[in-house]
Amino acid sequence: MKSKVYTLTGDSGTTALVGGRRVSKDDVRVEAYGTIDELNAHIGLLAQSSQLADTGMTPVVVAIMNKLFNIGAYLATDSTGADTQVYGLSEADVQAVERAIDEMDEELPPFRGFVLPGGSRLSARCDVCRTVARRAERRIVALAHTAAVNPIVLKYVNRLSDFFYVLARFNNLQSQIEENYWDKNA
């Protein structure tokens, strides 16, 4: 028999972590893995863009989505620690994101100033992913103040905001959309 989607166990404002311990839905740990989930949903929307295939970054984006599920599971587990291995996440994954950033950045013009979000629809979606990745990072840092977190998690999530920033610029370049720079006098 198929199980019901709704369990009624969260009706009082609590949820269960992996391992069974119940915590408030606004617990710092829930905020951390919830924001990772939100980031993944935004990346899913980004991945549906036909323009993404033109960048050559579709395999990287799909890999990122899978890694974020691993990170979410790690963060949702109450018994993790700084030395607890994050299943399916390693330094090689960080390096893969760095290589993708470097590959795109080689084609970009030198940095001239702060680029305003937007340009193409894909680039605007990248900017949303970048900002949600930054928020996820802040939520994980907050969790790290109260519980041990493996440093690879912060390192990987930190690279993601850089990846989405560069992907936005790269797509605008490929789409021949001129970047708009911040004008502090506007």
pLDDT tens digits, residue range 117-142?
889 999 999 999 999 999 999 999 99
pTM of the model: 0.89
The total of structural domains in the chain comes to: 1
The answer to whether position 10 is within a domain reads no
The answer to whether position 124 is within a domain reads yes
The answer to whether position 180 is within a domain reads no
pLDDT tens-digit readout, 94-123: 999 999 999 999 999 888 888 888 899 999
The answer to whether position 5 is within a domain reads no
Average pLDDT over residues 152-180: 94
Nearest Cα to 65, choosing from 158, 152, 129? Answer: 129
> If you search the block for the tokens 């863009």, which residue do you land on?
49
Domain that holds residue 61: 24-174
Burial of 179 from C-beta contacts in 10 A (0-12 / 13-18 / 19+): middle
The answer to whether position 52 is within a domain reads yes
The answer to whether position 113 is within a domain reads yes
Q: What is the CATH number of the domain that holds 106?
A: 1.20.1200.10
pLDDT value, residue 84: 74
Q: Crossing angle, helix 91-105 and helix 58-75, to 10 degrees?
A: 150
Quote the CA–CA distance of 51 and 120 in Å, as a whole number: 9
The answer to whether position 83 is within a domain reads yes
The answer to whether position 54 is within a domain reads yes
> If you search the block for the tokens 């900002």, which residue do you land on?
131
Q: How confident is the model at residue 82 (pLDDT cuts 50, 70, 90)?
A: low
Q: How confident is the model at residue 10 (pLDDT cuts 50, 70, 90)?
A: low
Q: Crossing angle, helix 151-174 and helix 91-105, to 10 degrees?
A: 20
- Bridge-partner residues for 47, per DSSP? none
pLDDT tens-digit readout, 24-78: 667 889 999 999 999 999 999 999 988 898 889 999 999 999 999 999 999 998 8
